[in-house]
Amino acid sequence: MAVNYVPSVSRFEIALRFSFVSLCLTFGFAASFAQTPTSTPPTQVVEDVDNRPERVRTDLVTLTLTVTDIYGRYVSGLSKTAFTVFDNGQEQEITYFSDTDAPVSLGILFDVSDSMTGTKISKARKALERFINTSHPSDEYFLIAFNNRAQLLLDRTRDGEAVLQKLTLVQPKNNTALYDACYLGIEKVTRGAHQKKAMLIISDGQDNSSRYNFGEVRRLLKESDVVVYAVGIMDGRDSGSMEGMQGQAFLDELTSVTGGKAFYPATDVEMDEIFERIALELRHQYSIGYTPKDFEPNGKWHKVKVRVKPPRGLPRLTVRNREGYYATPMTNYK
């Protein structure tokens, strides 16, 4: 079997720092998204007369998996038999499998509050350009900027240059409505054209101006199929402060339970490499699907565990995916 390794974009290991602060929040999340499968896709998207997508209910559970080796390199070329899925502890039959480099509908949530003053915002813009240049050419973008309110700057575009140009026109000011931005981002991305859906949060994670609270955002995420990545833009003022710890705890939890990642670059070079790493990860993932045995749409939470068995002679591999899902009918979008 030919197993391929995708070289790391960094000359040093970019490590994920999961720091669940006990005084902050402990919560869960469910999000699923799938790359374009080689067999029948799990969710049929139908365009109505207003050209708005409608989701059709299905009992098929979809998972997007990121597989890495002990050095953090992405591993491609694995077969379906390398994966085993457990739903509430019960082994499931994988009914479709794909490792296609599929485009994604991506919500970019860009913090333009007072906390992004100085060089923070300009460095983040520059790094985002590297992300867009590395992304799939057919990716679809939704750009949301937020300070004391969340504002949709671009709705459903494949023009990465237009995204960057929009961000040159905004200046940081006012408070931070990150939860509102997440709510708007989920709402937009779930209506995206591509089956694979994700959000990229560029912020320090702090919130002091939202109408929605974290519990409401968490609930919406559990009912959606969006995976979340975050780049924490922090400086010396944020490190060790209560606000900084809360912001990092929010980003850590939101990303880890969705199967995504949170990164906290310490240097400009590391920030550029992290953005490129996220773009590469989105392009080197597996998509699997299964119909749970004895499935009942009773609204209960199902915990999902995926194991990956490396081919003979290869070292231990790590698989990352969402933690579970609610057994509820798919929501129709009108």
Look at residue 16 and tell me whether its pLDDT is greater than 70.
no
Output the six-digit token pair for 181.
């931005």
Selected residue with higher pLDDT from 204 and 310: 310
| % helix, strand, coil for the chain, step of 5 | 25, 25, 50
Look at residue 57 and tell me whether its pLDDT is greater than 70.
no
- What is the full DSSP assignment across 91-142? EE---EEE-----EEEEEEEE-SGGGTTTHHHHHHHHHHHHHHHS-TT-EEE
Output the six-digit token pair for 68.
């890495």
Distance CA 144, CA 150 (A): 7
Contact call for residues 286 and 80 (beta carbons, < 8 A): no
* Domain 104-282: assigned CATH number: 3.40.50.410
**pTM, 2 dp:** 0.81
Instruction: For CA atoms 266, 269, 272, 273, give the dihedral sign.
Output: negative
**How much is the pLDDT for 174?**
92
Q: Which amino acid is at 188?
A: K
**How much is the pLDDT for 104?**
96
- Give residue-wise pLDDT tens across range 254-309: 888 888 999 999 999 999 999 999 999 999 999 999 999 988 899 999 999 999 99
What is the rounded average pLDDT of the residues 6-27?
A: 40
Output the six-digit token pair for 147.
């300070």
Angle (CA) 124 130 136, round 5°: 125
What is the rounded average pLDDT of the residues 160-177?
A: 91
Q: Tell me which residue has tokens 């931005």.
A: 181
Burial class (CB in 10 A: 0-12, 13-18, 19+), 326: middle
Domain locations in the chain as residue ranges: 4-9+25-100+284-326, 104-282
Distance CA 116, CA 126 (A): 14
Adjacent-strand bridge partners of 150? 146
Q: Which of 88-92, 113-117, 298-302 has the lowest mean pLDDT?
A: 113-117
Chain-wide mean pLDDT for the chain?
A: 82
Q: What share of the chain in percent tops pLDDT 70?
A: 79
CB atoms within 10 A of CB 45: 15
Distance CA 220, CA 91 (A): 28
Look at residue 82 and tell me whether its pLDDT is greater than 90.
yes
> In terms of Cα–Cα distance, which of 281, 176, 287 is closest to 233?
176
> In terms of Cα–Cα distance, which of 32, 55, 65 is closest to 223?
32
Distance CA 111, CA 202 (A): 6
Q: Tell me which residue has tokens 């992405």.
A: 74
Highest mean pLDDT among 12-21, 23-32, 116-125, 140-149: 140-149
> In terms of Cα–Cα distance, which of 203, 202, 223, 228 is closest to 282?
228
Look at residue 134 and tell me whether its pLDDT is greater than 80.
yes
**How much is the pLDDT for 314?**
84
DSSP H helix total and E strand total for the chain: 6, 18
| Residue 8: DSSP 8-state | P
Chain centroid offset of residue 150 CA: 19
Output the six-digit token pair for 239.
């490190």
Output the six-digit token pair for 22.
């006990």
What is the rounded average pLDDT of the residues 66-94?
A: 95
